[in-house]
Structure 1
Amino acid sequence: MSESSSQSDGTPIVYDLDPECTRSDLEAGQYYRGTVNGVVEYGVFVDVSESVSGLIHESSLETEYAVGDDVIVQLAEIKADGDVSFEPAALDSYDLVEKRPSYDRSVVSTLADSNGDTVHLEGAVVQIKQTRGPTVFQVRDETGIVPCTAYEGAGVRSHPEVEVGDLVHVAGTVGSRNGGVQVEVDRLDVLDGDQEQSVGARLEAASASQSDPIEVEPTIDWPALDEMRSDLADIARQLRRAVLEGRPIRIRHHADGDGMCAAAPVEIALERLIEDVHEDTEAPRHLLKRLPSKAPYYEMEDATRDLNYSLGDRARHGQKLPVLLMIDNGSTAEDTPAYRTLDSYDIPVIVIDHHHPDPEAVDPYVDTHVNPYLYGEDYRITSGMLSVELARMLHPSLGDELDHVPAIAGLADRSKADAMSDYLELAAEAGYDESHLDDIVAALDYAAYVLRYDAGRGFVTDLLGIDDEQRHRELIDLLADRARQDTDRQLEANTDHVEHERLANGAHLYRLDLDEFAHRFTYPPPGKTTGELHDRKVEATGEPVITVGYGPDFAVLRSDGVRLDIPEMVTDLNDELPGAGVSGGGHLVVGSIRFVPGMREAVIDSLIEKMADAELDEALSSSST
């Protein structure tokens, strides 16, 4: 397309060519700024770029020129033999416009087939990392993200004028590093004007289209999931866009079976998506972190650690601040101090949870919040069930690979949802009978304990049977046996110390002082010990049961057949016992609370009074946290 030689008001345009412009960037009739580089009998030679020089024939000269003079010329023609002919231009006024060289644009997705070639890319800088050698610019176009390395000297920042978010043109040579593709930069320019707008519009259109979630049918036909699937699709869109734009993602999840069943599939899906988008083979390791949280809420300690890590990555590696994905956690008022801290840095927070929520407390600080209670459902729809649907929307490779995982999540949280039979049937079709699923649940619980604050990357995937089937079977046999042996040992030690009484409402109450009568610092931990004791009492009595396991400053609560509301009980305890410092919660009938040690007796006594007043419901069953 030819360029205009004048502005709309008639003012002539004179082009100041970039030094790398060639004859292909010239057009007959256009004006150019040049410099005289030679005077001969038959005319004057003028340079308009480093590689383009032309002649003003002596027949056109009315003024004498000397080498080094600036001159405005008009292109008369480019002859068949490549010679360039100029005419002098006497312009009283004009607008000077810079012109960059034209080029055939390449795209990131084709670079693997262009090793050794010189290419031109247009895109956005999503990360700038200064190494001890070159500066590495991660550049994103509409097809992917590629590292572009520029070297000014060991540890010297190349192109300091370029910042994250700039739209740029990169010219360089395609090479390889660590099995991936990189571009060695010859030229890097920040775009402006029409070109900046054009590239920006192209990238935005690509992000809007490519961030759409994968269209997949739900794992089972369950109307309770329908509305939530729509909002899960919105979360998938947010996460896919974060990956496409090179933004880190941090996954926080509750450190239990359901939490691992929920977080690991999402981690796998995002890891595969990052591998698809990035030419840098190290990108998944740097851009995706999954971390367990021991508490049933997002603690300030965890939030501060996440924030400090992210700020350090921004300072050292030029990364953007991350998106935080909370899974099987994050719906309660206890989460708000941590959320407010992240809100100060504009870090987006996405929550997928099934614990009893406090939307008024958390929703001002979260971007998207999916919790069954917000849709008229309850904890029986577990976080693992929800997150498997999400993972399948994130990457097309996860079609039926996760069919057995929702059943594991449901068993891990003792879900009594109507759909559990469908999930168990789906797992059986995938080769996982209920006995083996129970073994997986036991192994996951044991793994959560021994891993503590470690994500167990890869290890958890093997436990879930998503990768190596033989290794999966061997690990499950080993860890499930160990978990059950240790649990039996624990209960044998404390069974004689369990206190029993009948409450006024007819429910059985079992109490155990875990500090005095349970092995400490070994598996199973207090929550698991209380849960196992509770399950055995429920099986033995067949009647409504409440079990309380307590220590110096905590109590773990389990209930079957009794209409408890643990979050409400925590609120009432704080009103009734000033100075007790009661906090915690969980599900309505399953949870844990903390308090100051000096108020333990008063807190436990008040708890039992409230339990004795609760209504019985034979159909109500418990779930684990």
Structure 2
Amino acid sequence: MGNCIICGADTEGHICQSHEEDVVFEFRGNSPDQLVENRFYRGVVDGYADFGVFVDLSSNVTGLLHRSELDGRLESLDWEAGDTVFVQVKNVRDNGNVDLTSSIRQADREFRGTLIQDGTEELLPEDDEEEVEEGNGRERDVEATTGEDEESAPAETDGSGAEAATQAVDEAAAESADSETEPDEADYAEDESSESEPVDADPAEADTEETPAGAEPEEPTRRDIGELSDRVGEEVRIEGEVVSARQTGGPTVFELRDETGVVDCAAFVEAGVRAYPEIEVGDIVRLDGEIEIRREELQVETEALVELEGEERETVERRLAEALTERARPDEATLVADDDAVSAAKENLLDAAEAIRRAVFESRPIVVRHAATADGYVAGVALERAILPMVREEHAESDAEYHYVNRRPLEEAVYEMNDATNDVTSMLQDRDRHDEKLPLVVLAGTASTVESEDGLEMLGIYGAKRVVVDAAPADAEIADTSDVLVNPDAAGLSTGALASSLATTVSPEVREEIAHLPAVSYWQDTPDSYLDAAREARFDEEAVTELREAIALEAFYQSYDEKRELVGDLLFGESPEAVAAGAPEDAAESETLAGHIATQFREKMDTEVETAEANIERSESEGVEVAVLDTEEYTHKYDFPPSSLLLDELHRRGDADVTIGIAMDELWVRAETDVDLRAVAREAASNAPNAGISAAGLREGRIEFLSGAREEVEIAVVGAVVEQFD
């Protein structure tokens, strides 16, 4: 019976069943049947085939990561033979073949612990290292004795000297082997310990020319984190804020931020035991340690760590605050193209950009929420494209973008309590399990109406900052329940165009990359300035249309998934890995992929429109042409296109003044005039008082009602809409 290295619970071995997928294993077995399914293993890329990647899990065991298990295309992987990767064992077949699946975690720090699987036996890394160190120590003792005897013994010509030397070596080896003395504690403390108290040294050793007896040891020089990469191997002092602290199966890893950057600092006291338990996230500290490169990432091996207080703390806090404000606030708003409506919101853009940049510099996660529509995806992806390079530059670890940027589509354009509960649950778990800061939540093309007020307030109760970016008119209540509201309230502006200019204000260098996105966000009446920007980026109107249709189709499938790799391929003709490597591809690839998916969009849409048009009921009321489609009876409810998108297309193609789609308990309104949906709902409710009529989604033109009053509701809503044409 042992204890789980993650939670400390009693368990057989070193990891309990509930936390087995939180650790990564180093496999040293020689047979596939020793592998454990669903475990994560560290492997080495062996080579590529047309159908996937071969990964060596040990010198004798190789598995296949099939291309179907990859989130993106096989060609998008930047792995090379010999690269260390992290995979999960999906299945071990009877013939010995090992099926692997991909892992989003591609660094040791992403896991909560590391274990060694030697055959079927599980070892702590420290146990394995101690065995090696003990063996090496005995060898060094023998070698040292041998060298001393050979140097001091006189040369012999009759062989007796050699015999004596051999005897001395044997006696020294025997003495070393029989000794039960543990490795020298001072050496262990110097190499492994993270205790702040220095280990007492031998007074005789301390009295040397380098360190005279009684003299204070020389303090390390304070360095900025931004310059540490040039000082590997040096002893340095860092002052800053602890932005996260996570416990691994070995050391405790503190993430430390100063005015120039962020770095991981490893502190070891005992395997799986929290070092410096008095240090918490948000503390201002001074840390002394040695700069090292571990697994190709910069890390400081902590030798001393103390919390600063009083004037020392205030000095560091003031330095951090001044530097953060200077770095976070852009000098000016950078727009994708000339747009008077966006220009009128420049101050709000600067406020939102400062909030986003500040979150990056504070090592605060950013959650981007957007509607699962073409316009919503453009808005969310534009912001993601601006934030990711900043995160990569700010954080040394290779997987930082998966920690600090999370884009989550919303099925509706309302931030409901269900969505807020999901986000709050996730952020509290991350805070409690990983000591992460509460996130900045950016809501693009959603949450601008009072229907989202409860969800926004729930975020605020827990202290999460909220930035709302929406081109549709916002209700007054949203200004009070958001920290920053970017809402020009201008007719004809898309949220995608607005968010793109926010993205270029956050990171002006991405303007050329995302210049075509605003044009993609418009289904009709695209402003000339955005079409010109798209042409400059080598996307003509046909290419822009294909991108729009392709994104609309993909937004429907797996609507809750960000689809980062696929969307990157569609909109930019490249995977995020290619972007990170700075190797953009020609837009033609994006057009080819988008063209393929856009063809499916048109085929599915044309088929559905043809069926719908044959079943539309047309009428005229007070000179207003009204077309009504029973979507419950004459559409494929769970297939593409969704009812809201179908109604948009029917209204664009048709000649009716009002197009209404009615389902079992909801309907959609499309009209040639600006319709006040809340007023329509109120008027209809007065004529059908027991039907439970309410305006559920202003952006989608959606009204909800009780299914038992369906016919009564249809008559009441049509009458209320027609009245608004007067």
Smaller-chain TM-score bracket: 0.7 to 0.9
Aligned to 1:153: 270
The aligned residue for residue 604 of structure 1 is 714
Query: Which one of 532, 546, 557 corresponds to residue 658 of structure 2?
Result: 546
Change (3 A) 1:446 1:82: closer
Q: Does 1:311 align with 2:422?
A: no
Secondary structure at 2:306 match in 1? strand
SS at match of 1:289: strand
- The equivalent of 1:591 in structure 2 is 701
- 1:443 is the counterpart of 2:550: yes
- In 1, the alpha carbon distance for the partners of 2:302 and 2:199 equals 21
Residue 104 of structure 1: CA displacement? 0.9
1:350 and 1:83, CA in 2 relative to 1: closer, same or farther beyond 3 A? closer
- When normalised by structure 2's length, the TM-score is 0.67
What's the counterpart of residue 369 of structure 1?
485
Q: Counterparts of 1:198-209 in structure 2 under 5 Å?
A: 198-209=315-326
- What's 1:24 paired with? none
Structure 1 residues 471 and 160, CA gap change in structure 2 (3 angstroms):
same
Q: Residues 81 and 134 (structure 1 numbering): CA distance in 2 closer, same or farther, change over 3 Å?
A: closer
Q: Calculate the TM-score normalised by the size of structure 1.
A: 0.78
Structure 1 residue 585 displacement after superposition:
5.2
Preserved contact between residue 125 and residue 166 of structure 1 (Cα < 8 Å)? yes
Residues 628 and 659, structure 2, Cα contact 8 Å, conserved in 1 = yes
Output aligned runs, 1:150-189, within 5 Å.
150-189=267-306
Partner of 1:93: none
Secondary structure of the residue aligned to 1:497 is: coil
In 2, Cα distance between equivalents of 1:85 and 1:447: 72
Identity of aligned residues (%): 31
- Please state how far the C-alpha of 1:575 moved relative to its aligned partner: 4.7
Q: How far apart, in 2, do the equivalents of 1:341 and 1:246 lie?
A: 22
Distance, in Å, in 2 between the alignment partners of 1:82 and 1:437 is: 71
1:484 aligns with 2:484: no
CA drift at 1:101: 6.8
Instruction: Give how far 1:387 is off.
Output: 0.8
Secondary structure of the residue aligned to 1:512 is strand
1:350 is paired with a residue whose SS is strand
Give the equivalent residue in structure 2 for 1:327. 444
- Structure 1: 5+ residue runs without aligned partners? 1-47, 55-79, 87-98, 539-543, 617-625
Take 2:385 and 2:375, find their aligned partners in 1: how far apart are those partners? 16
8 Å CA contact retained: 2:683, 2:720? no
Correspondence for 2:314: 197
2:353 is equivalent to residue 246 of structure 1 = no
User: Residue in 1 aligned with 2:414?
Assistant: 297
CA 1:437 to 1:163, structure 2 compared with 1: closer, same or farther past 3 Å? same
Counterpart-to-counterpart distance in 2, 1:328 and 1:100: 59
Given candidates 614, 624, 649, the residue that maps to 1:532 is 649
Shift of residue 171, structure 1, vs aligned partner: 1.4
Which residue is equivalent to 2:176?
A: none
Deviation at 1:614, TM superposition (A): 2.1
* Unaligned stretches of 5+ residues in structure 2: 1-197, 575-584
2:284–2:307 Cα contact (<8 Å) kept: yes
Q: Check conservation: 2:543, 2:591, Cα contact below 8 A.
A: no
Distance 1:225 1:563, change over 3 A: closer
Partner Cα separation in structure 2 for residue 85 and residue 545 of structure 1 = 94
Q: CA deviation at 1:533?
A: 1.5
Per-residue Cα deviation, 1:540-595 (whole angstroms, up to 9, x for no partner): xxxx52111111011111112x342113222433455444333335558x611222
Query: Take 1:258 and 1:580, find their aligned partners in 2: how far apart are those partners?
Result: 33
Structure 2 equivalent of residue 232 of structure 1: 349
| Aligned-CA RMSD value | 2.6
Q: Please identify, of 119-128 and 562-571, the stretch whose mean Cα deviation from structure 2 is larger.
A: 562-571
Q: Which aligned pairs between 1:330-341 and structure 2 lie closer than 5 A?
A: 330-341=447-458
Q: Who is 2:535 aligned against?
A: 428
Partner of 2:668: 556
SS in 1 for 2:222: coil
How far apart are 1:85 and its partner, in Å? 8.7
Change (3 A) 1:584 1:173: farther
- Aligned position for 1:381: 493
Structure 2 letter corresponding to 1:431: R
Counting only pairs closer than 5 Å after superposition, residues 128-143 of structure 1 correspond to structure 2 as 128-143=245-260
Tell me the distance in 2 between the aligned counterparts of 1:270 and 1:126. 19
- Partners of 2:514 and 2:607 lie apart in 1 by 34
Deviations 1:338-363 (A, max 9, x none): 1222222121111001223211x222
Q: SS at 2:550's partner residue?
A: helix
CA shift, 1:84, in A, is 7.0
Distance 2:715 2:337 in 1: 45
Where do residues 349-360 of structure 1 align in structure 2 (5 Å cutoff)? 349-359=466-476
Decide whether the 8 Å contact of 2:250 with 2:271 is kept in 1. yes
**CA shift for structure 1 position 286:** 0.9
CA distance in structure 2 between the aligned counterparts of 1:424 and 1:592, rounded to whole angstroms: 30
Secondary structure (helix, strand or coil) at the match of 1:381 reads: coil
Contact between 1:270 and 1:395, CA under 8 Å: does it hold in 2? yes
Report how many residues are paired: 516
Report how far residue 462 of structure 1 moved.
2.3
Residue 612 of structure 1 deviates from its aligned partner by 1.9
Change (3 A) 1:240 1:325: same
Deviations 1:396-420 (A, max 9, x none): 42132221111111x23x3x47xx0
Shift of 1:254: 0.9
